[in-house]
Every structure is written in C-alpha cells, then in structure tokens.
Structure 1
Amino acid sequence: MNPQVESFHDPATGTFSHLVYDHDGGHAAIIDPVMDFEPASARIAYDSARRLLDAAHAHSLAVEWILETHAHADHMSAAAWLREQTGAKVAIGRGITGVQARFKEIFNLEPDFPVDGRQFDRLFADGDEFRIGTLDARVIATPGHTEDSITYVVGDAAFVGDTLFAPDTGTARADFPGGDAATLYRSLRRLLDLPAYTRLYLCHDYPPAGRDATPATTVAEERASNVHLAGDVDEDAYVHLRTNRDASLPVPKLLLPALQVNIRGGALPPAEGNGVRYLRIPLDRLGAA
C-alpha cells in the first residue's frame, strides 16, 4: 500500500510537517511537527501542531507515531505535546545519542541529563522496519547534515528531513557540530538510488521569487535537475561545493533554543526553583568570530 499524505507549512520557520496515514478511519504518523515560538517574548504555542491533530481527527485517524527525521536546528519540536494529546510513540534516529552528548557539553546541562536517547520511545537504526496501521515502513540512515538524520520510506513516499531540498535549492548544509559533507554525499546517493517515481517529502523549502513553497518532489526530478547533484557530480566535487557554500551561511536563528528542546524529544527544560523554565544562551561557542 502507498500512504495518504497531507502536508502543512509553517511559514515562520519554513518547515513542512506531514500527516501520513493508511486510510480514513485507520492509523497515522505525524512527521516533524513544529512548536510555535516567538523569540522576542519567548512565548510558545501549539497552533501549528494542532492543525495536524485537527486533520487526523477529520479523517478519524489514530495517531500511532510522532516521527522526527533529526534533531532540528531551525524549529522547536512539538513531539512531546503531541505525545500527551495522542499517546503516540516518539521516534528518532539512533544517532541522537551523539547529538545529545555534544550539546550537553555546549549548553553545560545538568550532570544527570541522560545522553542515551531515553527521552524518545524508539531509536531507529538503518534498515529498521515498523508499521503505521496497514502500511509497511522502513528506515534509511542518512547522516551528514546531522549524525542522527534518517529517512522514513513508506510505500512510494520517503520523508527525507533536511537531507535533500527541492531541485532548485539543492541539499542540506553539513557544517553543524557532527555534520560532514562527504557523509552527506553518500546519504544523498542512497536517496537517489530509490525508484524514480518515489515521492520525496521535504522538511523545508526555501523557494526563489516566483515559486511557492513545495512539500514534495520526486527522485526523478532530483536526479535530473538538483543544482548540487545533477550530472553525476562526484564526491570530491560535491564536498568542495558544499564546504564553500556552508562557509557563507549564517547560524540558524533558532539553533540555540531549538536544540535544547529537540534533544529532549520536544520537551521543555525542567522548571527551576521559581517555577519558570529557562533556555540557555552560550556565548562565543557557535559561528565565526
């Protein structure tokens, strides 16, 4: 069976979240949900995530999974809130343990902060299989952008996270802590080896003027015209291109708040003695001097 997919765009972060399901009255997964965050006031809300829930209710779906493609650096995840609303299991790639250890040190988190992934219900490894109702799903490890990046393949659809963008935009950056351009190239080749008709659902789109944001492309389209990969670009050429491009990119605006939440499976940091939750801002740790 091939899945039904509804995609939801969050214009504040340029993020696409996806509702994936087998049939009306059946079972669903939510992929890469967004917590609303207003940086100036540090106010949070769950309007974006509620749209996904409303769609699930409209189709009479039981949400079984909240699936993260990686620990995002450009938006805060609503996974923990959705787990409370639905009872669904939250899953991410097994590489999250390395991301947790890395950012525990950067944020100087409490000594007992666990870095074994226990904040999530399931840690997926390359080749793992699972089900969404009557749908068969499998996992492809696609590290490079981050060490925990994975792709979920469900029938003729693949949910690629930040690894791959629309053909006129290219591919993910690889300069975050734990990222690597050569590793990313090999992951991209795995995706382009999928059948040409495979629908590739994106986590982000940054369209040029004159084009609306698009939630999906296909393997055939990416093979033919991706600006970073078309023409059988080899690994050395790609690494050179990616490294030079990354050197010009700014640090994502929400990276510091996002990672503190996302390594916790979308949960907020624990409240301090005054009952208030705080996010930390480490000075002079990221980006150029």
Structure 2
Amino acid sequence: MSPSRARATTALALLLLATTACTAAEHESTPAPHGPSVIRQAKQLRLPLDAYASTVAETHAMEDAEDILMRRCMADLGMEWKPLPRVDVRDVEPPNFRRYGAEEVEVDRYGYHPSPDPPSVTRRNQAWDEREALPAEVQRAAYGRSGEGGCRKTAQRELVGDTAPPDYQAFNRLTGKALETSRRAPEVRDAIRKWRTCMTKAGFDYPDPLAAAGNERWQTDEPTPAERTTARADMTCQQSTGVVKVWSAAETRIQRRLIEENADPLHEAKARKDRWLAASRRVLNRDDG
C-alpha cells in the first residue's frame, strides 16, 4: 500500500474547528473591511513551534528526493517509476493560514469553502491517485508487502541510513495544546467577545471565529449565499477587532513556554527532520544539476 500524500502537520489543530454553532437568517452583505487584511495576517503568521515540523514544501522535497532514489531501484527491477509532479512554490498554502478560522481570500465567492487547488497541486494529487491504482506487483516492489519495505525502504536507507523518519508526535500534541490554551487567554477572550458583539450586530450568533468557520451547514458541495454572507461578516469583524493579531501574540507566548518545557523531545524531532531535509536537498540538487 502506498504512503499517504503530503499534508501540513498543523492540520491536527484544525480538528479543533469542529464546534457547534448557531446562525441567524441571511442578511444584507456586510461592507468590505479597510486597513491591513486579515487574510494577509493569516498568510504571514509564523509561530515558534513551526520550526519543529515540516512545512508542506519541505515534505514535498523529502518525497521528491525519495522518488528519485526509488526510480533507480525500480529500474533495477525492470519497472518504471514516475516521479510525482513538482508543486510550484507559489501554490503552497502558508502553514498557519486557517489556524484562527480566517480561511478564504475570496469570501464573496467561496465563503468558508477552500478555493480550487492550483494546477500544480491538482497534478500532484492526481499522480498520488494513479499510484494507488498501480498493479499489485508494482505496489509490492515499491512498498513491500507491509507497505514499509520495497524500493521505498531502500531509498530511505540510501537517503539517511538508519535515521528514522521524522516524528511529529510532540509537535502535534503541543500545537493543539497551545491553540486551546491561547483560546482561554484573557486578551483573546476579550478580542473574541468584541468579535462576537460585532457579529451579533450583523445578525449572527457564534461564540468565536472557529465556530463560524466550522458550522456543519457549510458542509455542502458548493458555498451557499448564507455561507458567503456569514464569512464576509466574519472577516469584517475579525478585521475591526484584531482577533488574529491578539490571538497569535498570545499563542506565540504560550508556544515559547511549551518549547522550554519540552526541549528534549522537540530537539530530537527537529534534528531528525533537519537530517532528512538536508539529505533530500542534496539529492534534489544533484538531480536538478
């Protein structure tokens, strides 16, 4: 069985978005916000724990290097191995873009739904789908009967020797804890209270931005008019109350404390990740050269 395709490791924190929420009836479109964009703040958001996990781009680099080495191994077995298409660096979503519920640039068009994947991301996802449909003989040669062997195991050994793959357990645990802890910080509660007052004036009843984004009503194939109206009001209220700025500052402080308290496992995880990434970049540089 093939390995799972790359996903941002901060996705675990997004599970916390699944909260219950209430909405009011659809209202007139809220005026567009002025000043620094909430979306720009979300795109630029960097948190201290980010250093201890791989970005999507770094995960792609490790997969691409592994592909190069697997291709040689598979060729020795008389089988073709097609490398995954590269993703354009401009198409990689920032690591914390959706962390506080600020999800979409074009809220008028997509509401809380994600915009369509860029072409290079679509091509890579399609290539993963094609791999999962490979004949059983090719699957066994690539991944072994257990899914942990075959040419993939050979490629990993050539890449980093006996170094185990990156382990993000400590990161996942701490990033989720930091998000929930920061949510209860006094200054964040105050900002969320102001956001809720703003939303109430616009005719909506949600406890916080995560509840607005995670409303089950938005689990539709296409965004509805009510969803787009809610998302626009959400963005406007986030802008006027500074939720992202306040929340990220609180979480930054909390993450730094958690890093100090968990220095040993985080240091080990980062060292392992850095070794894999450095080895992957050497392989990619040789191949590109």
Question: Do the two structures share a fold, i.e. TM-score over 0.5?
Answer: no
Higher-helix-fraction structure: 2
Higher-strand-fraction structure: 1
Which fold has the larger relative contact order, with Cα–Cα distance below 8 Å and residues 6 or more apart in sequence?
2
Into which bin does the TM-score normalised by the smaller protein fall? under 0.3
Greater CA radius of gyration, 1 or 2?
A: 2
